[in-house]
Structure 1
Amino acid sequence: MIYVFVFAWLLGLVFGTFFKLDYLPISLCLAMLMAFVWRTRNKVYFCLAVTMLASLLGVLRSEIYYSRADWANNDTPFSEYSGKVLDKVSNSALVSLSSPHSGTWLLVGSITNLTPGDHLYISGSSVPFYQLDGFLFRYSLSKGAHGVIFAKSIKVVSRDKGNLQSVMAKVRNNTSSLIRSYVGYPYSSVAESMILGNAGNVPEDIERDFRESGLSHILVASGFNVTILVLIVIAFLRPLIGIRGSMCLAFILVPIYMGLSGMSSPVVRASVMAVTSLWGRWIGRQNDSGRSLCFALLLISALQPFSIYDIGMQLSVLATAGIIWLYPSVARAMARLPELLRETVSISFVAQASTMPLLIFYFGKVSHLAILANVLVAPLIPLEMILTVLTVVLGVLSASLGSAIGWLTGKFVLAIVYIANSISEISAASELRLIVGPKSLVLYYLVFVAVILLAQPVARRYARDFWVF
């Protein structure tokens, strides 16, 4: 039932984004549906009522979010703004405006020296999200921004250094500095990006190689990082402090890593799943990754309704869903392969099958060697991440130890970069440029859902002991 509820909720959010409705009829319909759900005992009517209830709740949540901004009924152009930095996102910043109107806005301009908590005075022009198109429309919508401010000048009025976000930003910057000091450029930029998600520091040629080889997901902090973090903590510390002690430490480290990685949607999604799964194990419940994924998606979209338009979030959810529900069947089909190779190939194949149409829809091309590239780098990524963390930790204690581990980290990064470069050169010679329209995309994922439903018996048996975030 939770799957139907979440799906209906998401449809309601999408509908509420593009069609504005009055609160009164929505509230009346909600009240009647809740009364009907409370009293009915017919399972079919109950499911239909819950589905409609979830959809209306999604529409209402969308309406409430955008009603917080007072720009909707004000077409007066402004040129001066004041507000507070909420977060830095790539080459832009999310700012909560206090005047001349309210709401969360995406600030584009010279933001290099800005940190979360800074109070700003901005000169420029603003464009509401519904007047944007193309990339800026999707990007501002995915970040929950009411629009974009194109800044001509930015003045920092004051800095709030005591808030949690500014503390996390400082720790993040110090961590980046240590990686750059001990690993060495340009490999430090790749190591930093894989751990913290700072893809903006990666040289253009290396970033192009990763993109054309189908490895661009490595250069962002993702749910895979959270999975590795939890498994390493439990595997290494369980013999020392027991299963409950290691789980308790994982509870603490997952939110910390979520803050250090910049609160990207895939990491937040994986962190919620990790905490949910850990809590279930703590109270003696069997793991259910599918329900954890639905709960994470519901929670994130309730707090930030338009995170569902984040491309990274969409790809992350699809890849995770494919691994949860299709991996067991694919792995069984490859039972004759050695275990490590079977797991690597199966996960790479399922992740690509889950996300490839969406990648083509957004970007118009795809690497036909992406599965091979992912299979080759998969064994290196956990080791590289562990070494990067050791470089930072030991580098704080001793410069010599930091340099030694940093040198070894650089060699692992070099191997990953070499694989990406080699695959990209082969892919460039026979690049596939495809077009997937909205109808084809919907049809593909309808078939995808049907395949998942057929694979449920196998997935249900396997999911109880399968840790994936």
Structure 2
Amino acid sequence: MILLHLGSAWLAGILLASLLHPPPGFLWLLTPLPLAVLLLWRRERRARLFAACALALLLGALRYDAAAIPRHFDEGHIAHYNDRGWVALRGVVVGEPDVRATYVNLRVAAEELEIEGREREVRGLVLVRAPRYPEYRYGDELRVEGLLTTPPEFEDFSYRDYLARRGIHSLLRRPRIALLARGRGNPFRAALLAFKRRAQATIARILPEPQASLLTGILLGVEGGIPADLMEDFNRTGTTHIIAISGFNISIISGLLSGLSARLFGRRRATPFALAGVVLYTILVGANAAVVRAAIMGCLYIIAAHYGRQTEALTSLAAAAVLMTALNPHVLWDVGFQLSFAATLGLVLYTPSIERCFQRALAGVLSPGAAEKIVGLLDEALIVTLAAQITTLPIIVYHFRRLSLVTLLTNLLILPAQPGVMAWGGAATVAGLLWQPLGRALGWVAWLFLTYTIRAVEVTAAVPRA
């Protein structure tokens, strides 16, 4: 539990620094105080814990200050030239293209800029909002012309801060683009994204729509192809979490990989292969904050199982949060991270209590054995959802101004089908990559689970005031 206290203090330091903006010099002056307490009262357990937490809080604040979002840029940064008219830049696509319904977002690392007839070397990321076609890929070198602007700030949302937390300070809409070269990205990542495109194309060939788009979202984290009306139904019913790659997906992947690796390589040698599989899957689906959190916890579980140790969920959650915010403290403001963290916290804190409440309620009308069986059946579909809703509901209402009245019913209906979606959908995709007729045959089984999920969501979304 010490890590839990230290992790909480670290996160509190980041949050307080974002609100109070203390001078870094003042924080450094305070740092010797907890160190002195650790040395002078090292035999006092409470004093040691208090001093260690104080030190963690100060370090968290210092980490936030070191990663503070800049507002002014030197002449070598691309953002220095925002809002200064027409520019032409040369750069490389450094992320997977984010495909939307009518456009695609390209994250371009700028290398050279031409403005007012002068060329200069620059650095920094630009978000280029390009047409859907022609298609561009990770590693493409592009010449992009257009108006370079500062991302806008709206009354209830700062798109500027949203992008800045991802290291992007410039936006270029309606560009003229020329492809200069291909293959300038990392070869390993390029190969992984090429495999992802093949898998996506395979799913499109073996399944009809909208089942193909839904499976692509659930397996590969690509949600852009899901029809807008169906996506709105998932939003109305509070079930978008089954589409977003999360702990549910990672737990299934880590379990499958652990079991398969143990059979192929033996229990002692299985761990490195299972860990590598989780890491590869995380990179494959985009490595957003929610996925990384789940992957870290999944890897800790695999390592603990290898050494025959039990994992403490709260400690693992704290470790994941500390590691992620140490790398990028701004992840604390990522909505996906907040929802993923809160949902996991709710499962850990409230699931046992809710299970006991259900058992006591059912024990009044049923035998203890029957009550336990029913609670076991309700566990994944209802109890886990209810526990997660307790901690995620405030975040959902705050960010999305939305409250679904049918979310418990919809989750009760669709969650039991999701392991079938993952297992049969994954098997059909792998089989389709090897031999398409086999993929289609297995795909029909996945189609049943996917169609049931879609129909259940559509029916409950049609309930008045859902």
Given candidates 183, 186, 199, the residue that maps to 1:175 is 199
Structure-1 separation of matches of 2:6 and 2:358: 34
- How far 1:262 sits from its partner (Å)? 1.0
Matched letter for residue 430 of structure 1: R
Aligned equivalent of 1:461: none
Mapped pair 1:40 → 2:41: yes
Structure-1 separation of matches of 2:383 and 2:26: 49
Summarize deviations over 1:131-170 as a string: whole Å, max 9, x none. Answer: 99615246325x5234241333244443315433222211
Mapped pair 1:87 → 2:109: no
Question: SS state of the match for residue 166, structure 2?
Answer: coil
Matches within 5 A, 1:54-453: 54-66=56-68, 71=73, 77=82, 78=84, 79-80=86-87, 81-88=89-96, 89=98, 91-98=104-111, 102-110=123-131, 113-122=135-144, 123-127=146-150, 134=157, 136-137=159-160, 139-141=162-164, 143-153=165-175, 154-159=177-182, 160-235=184-259, 238=262, 242-335=266-359, 336=371, 337-426=374-463, 429-431=464-466
Aligned equivalent of 1:9: 10
Tell me: CA distance 1:170–1:240, structure 2 relative to 1, closer, same or farther (3 Å): closer
Summarize deviations over 1:89-110 as a string: whole Å, max 9, x none. Answer: 4653444444565444544344
- How far 1:341 sits from its partner (Å)? 2.1
User: Mean alpha-carbon deviation: is it higher for 18-27 or for 44-53?
Assistant: 18-27
Structure-1 separation of matches of 2:324 and 2:123: 22
Aligned equivalent of 2:362: none
Tell me: CA distance 1:293–1:31, structure 2 relative to 1, closer, same or farther (3 Å): same
Structure-1 separation of matches of 2:310 and 2:166: 35
Matched letter for residue 306 of structure 1: H
Is the CA contact 2:93–2:138 (under 8 Å) kept in the aligned structure 1? yes
Is the CA contact 1:11–1:55 (under 8 Å) kept in the aligned structure 2? yes
Matched letter for residue 429 of structure 2: V
Tell me: CA distance 1:37–1:196, structure 2 relative to 1, closer, same or farther (3 Å): same
Summarize deviations over 1:297-325 as a string: whole Å, max 9, x none. Answer: 11111112211111111101100111122
Matched letter for residue 396 of structure 2: L
Matched letter for residue 139 of structure 1: Y
Structure-1 separation of matches of 2:394 and 2:154: 28
Structure-2 separation of matches of 1:324 and 1:223: 13
Aligned length: 428
Structure-2 separation of matches of 1:67 and 1:312: 20
Is the CA contact 2:431–2:439 (under 8 Å) kept in the aligned structure 1? yes
Is the CA contact 1:9–1:56 (under 8 Å) kept in the aligned structure 2? yes
Structure-2 separation of matches of 1:296 and 1:260: 20
User: Mean alpha-carbon deviation: is it higher for 78-87 or for 287-296?
Assistant: 78-87
Unaligned runs of 5+ in 1: 432-469
Tell me: CA distance 1:7–1:111, structure 2 relative to 1, closer, same or farther (3 Å): farther
Is the CA contact 1:70–1:102 (under 8 Å) kept in the aligned structure 2? no
Question: SS state of the match for residue 224, structure 2?
Answer: helix
Higher relative contact order (CA 8 A, sep 6+): 1
Question: SS state of the match for residue 201, structure 1?
Answer: coil
Structure-1 separation of matches of 2:90 and 2:392: 40
Structure-1 separation of matches of 2:67 and 2:136: 26
- How far 1:20 sits from its partner (Å)? 4.9
Matched letter for residue 326 of structure 2: A
Structure-2 separation of matches of 1:25 and 1:173: 51
- How far 1:27 sits from its partner (Å)? 3.2
TM-score by length of structure 1 reads 0.82
Tell me: CA distance 1:49–1:127, structure 2 relative to 1, closer, same or farther (3 Å): farther
Would you tell me which structure has more helix in proportion to its own residues?
1
- Give % identity: 24
Question: SS state of the match for residue 144, structure 1?
Answer: coil
Is the CA contact 1:106–1:145 (under 8 Å) kept in the aligned structure 2? no
TM-score by length of structure 2 reads 0.82
Tell me: CA distance 1:343–1:30, structure 2 relative to 1, closer, same or farther (3 Å): same
Structure-2 separation of matches of 1:82 and 1:132: 33
Structure-1 separation of matches of 2:51 and 2:143: 49
Is the CA contact 1:129–1:147 (under 8 Å) kept in the aligned structure 2? no
Considering only CA atoms, is the larger Rg found in Structure 1 or Structure 2?
2
Structure-2 separation of matches of 1:205 and 1:32: 58
- How far 1:196 sits from its partner (Å)? 0.9
- How far 1:183 sits from its partner (Å)? 1.1
Tell me: CA distance 1:365–1:128, structure 2 relative to 1, closer, same or farther (3 Å): closer
Is the CA contact 2:313–2:348 (under 8 Å) kept in the aligned structure 1? yes
Question: SS state of the match for residue 281, structure 1?
Answer: helix
Tell me: CA distance 1:5–1:353, structure 2 relative to 1, closer, same or farther (3 Å): same
Summarize deviations over 1:46-105 as a string: whole Å, max 9, x none. Answer: 333323322222222223234789617986544534443332346534444445654445
